[in-house]
A and B are shown apart, each in its own frame.
Chain A
């Protein structure tokens, strides 16, 4: 039954990863930027929910409040840093966002302390299959909320004016500009939406798991991995590979032990990249 437990845990965890990865795919596709600070945005969103919990508000409301705050954080980051690296070499953007990541890590460390915290939602647990599988209700709640947000965003991108502008910019920024799309605004909104998604995911993570100022980078790597496995713009793929990663991680946790959990995630990234590189090199191509 341990296997079933791991699979269910992994699936619920993976949905959260997929939400973060969706944000990354969005801004990667639109702005061609890899945001190393993605994970730190997640953690920051988590701290917003945690603070609401500290002040006596139920942390589940963080799901509403955190994305609103994070949207503006994202727009500010865009205005200060990202808009200067959008058209530049990709390595420049990686390094710049790496700088932002270090900055955020340390600021959060100052503001919130270096303790591992979680916001207790008090949702209780569900027992399944004769009490052999334990599922905290908060995990089910967070998976449900992630799906709601993901579907909401997909609909928004399809139907709304801004969504169409974002998709047009992703296809061809220059043509979009000619046709009257204010790409600067679109970029800012994209980055803001990405940060807001991170905020939602962070609030959910603070309810279901734990947060810590230095835990950001693994989330970045996970979302990067999910995006390269699924491919840009492949939403079902993002969901599937997110859940796959979640299951993988739970099994790595059970088999290798918790101390190798993060290490196995990073190793998996290396293995996936190497596998894809060999697969593509047969056709004399490379990852672009």
Chain B
């Protein structure tokens, strides 16, 4: 079993490293896929393992995006003049400045959302169930509306992130962002996998299954909930920072706090793959991205109609997701011991 896993990991690693050279035309798509997987995994920490279904992780994603770009610009040039319009033409980053700024920006984009999550966590995470879901939905939309009114980050006209510096190779931009997102993806996956092997995951599951009982057992649920949300926010911010550089243009409601697209995508991908599993979000995000890219152009303007239908269909007919379905079909593969008599008894009881 361990050997099998190792082979799978190695295969994915080799594929990931070779992909931009084998499929050079799909570099941007592959980078976006990495970002989507990160978002799905982090949503799953929050929604799947902890049972706190959030629409608000888009807040950290957008925050990371704005922070990364602002730091990258603000380190070397005045931010206000940059966003006033045409700043990317007057001020040019040298390659060294660009990479330094980006690295520093990513660090800020990861840490600040985590701190924000920690600060608001105590108030917001006291809500439960659908109140939490609607509250976080409100947070995400409010962030989008408010950031659209702030002058220094471009207000309504958007924020152009620093263009990639002129290096000799034309391919460099795509490869740089691909490897950034791929490395962050591996980092996220391994970190989450490590977290899932500790007692922390069991605490999260206890909170999901019955928070009152978990509290009665002496678990400080609030502490763990806040830490869980901070982990989510940390990786969401990282993903947002990279995405900002990749897209090259930040708009408050269409790119950064895009609750209608990214905010729903991350929930949908995690549910499609299977909530509360390690591999579910990865599979779900991959399938979703393939479906999206394969059919989005085919629907030609009807994407959102298709998206709406897809949400309804997945939620109604497929709420357990792919991993849940596999688990029902082959429980032995998941390390569950099934007693045949027990299973029959359950069926008859129904």
Closest chain B CB from A79 CB (angstroms): 13
Contact A102 B260 (CB under 8 A): yes
Contact B130 A281 (CB under 8 A): no
- Of A104, A106, A260, chain B has the most CB atoms within 10 Å of the CB of A106
Please state if B308 and A102 are interface contacts (CB–CB under 8 Å): yes
In the bound assembly, the distance between CA atoms of A208 and B53 in angstroms comes to 37
**Residue contact B149 to A260, C-beta cutoff 8 Å:** yes
Question: Are A266 and B141 in contact, with the CB atoms below 8 A?
Answer: yes
- Residue among A85, A88, A266 facing the most chain B CB atoms (10 A cut-off): A266
- Interface flag for A277 (CB, 8 Å): yes
Once the chains bind, are A99 and B149 in contact (CB under 8 Å)? Answer: no
A147 within 8 Å of B (CB atoms): no
Cβ contacts under 8 Å, B9 to chain A? none
The answer to whether A278 touches B123 (Cβ under 8 A) is: yes
Q: How far is the CA of A102 from the CA of B307 in the complex (A)?
A: 8
The closest CB in chain A to the CB of B126 belongs to A277
Complex formed: what's the CA distance from A222 to B141 in Å?
13
CA–CA, A81 and B137, complex, Å: 22
Given contacts A34-B130, A34-B134, A278-B126, contact A99 B146 (CB under 8 A): no
Contact status A270-B135, CB under 8 Å: yes
A133 contacts partner chain B, Cβ-Cβ < 8 Å: no
Report which of B127, B139, B149, B307 forms a contact with A266, defined as CB distance below 8 A.
B139
Binds B, one of A54-62, A90-98, A115-123: A90-98
Most B C-beta atoms less than 10 A away, residue of A107, A221, A263, A267: A263
B128→A260 contact, CB < 8 A: no
Task: Establish whether residues A95 and B138, one from each chain, have CB atoms under 8 Å apart when the complex forms.
Answer: no
Q: Please give the distance in Å from B298's CB to the nearest CB on chain A.
A: 16
Chain B contributes a number of interface residues (CB within 8 A of A) equal to: 40
Whether A103 lies near B141 (C-beta < 8 A) is: no
User: How far apart sit A18 and B324, CA to CA, in the bound complex (Å)?
Assistant: 42
Q: Which of A92, A217, A288 contacts B315 (CB 8 A)?
A: A92
A96 near B316: Cβ-Cβ < 8 Å? yes
Asked if A91 meets B309 with Cβ closer than 8 Å, knowing A98-B264, A270-B138, A278-B123, the reply is no
What are some 27 contacts across the A-B interface (CB < 8 A)? A85-B316, A91-B53, A91-B129, A91-B133, A94-B130, A95-B271, A95-B311, A96-B315, A98-B264, A99-B307, A99-B308, A100-B308, A100-B312, A110-B301, A259-B149, A260-B145, A260-B149, A263-B146, A263-B148, A266-B142, A267-B142, A267-B146, A273-B135, A273-B138, A274-B135, A277-B123, A287-B131
Beyond A84-B316, A96-B312, A270-B135, 10 extra complex contacts between A and B, CB < 8 Å: A34-B130, A94-B133, A94-B134, A99-B312, A105-B304, A221-B134, A262-B145, A263-B142, A270-B124, A273-B138
Interface residues in chain A, defined as those with a beta carbon under 8 Å from any beta carbon in chain B: 34, 81, 84-85, 88, 90-92, 94-96, 98-107, 109-110, 217, 221, 224, 228, 257, 259-260, 262-263, 266-267, 269-270, 273-274, 277-278, 281, 286-288
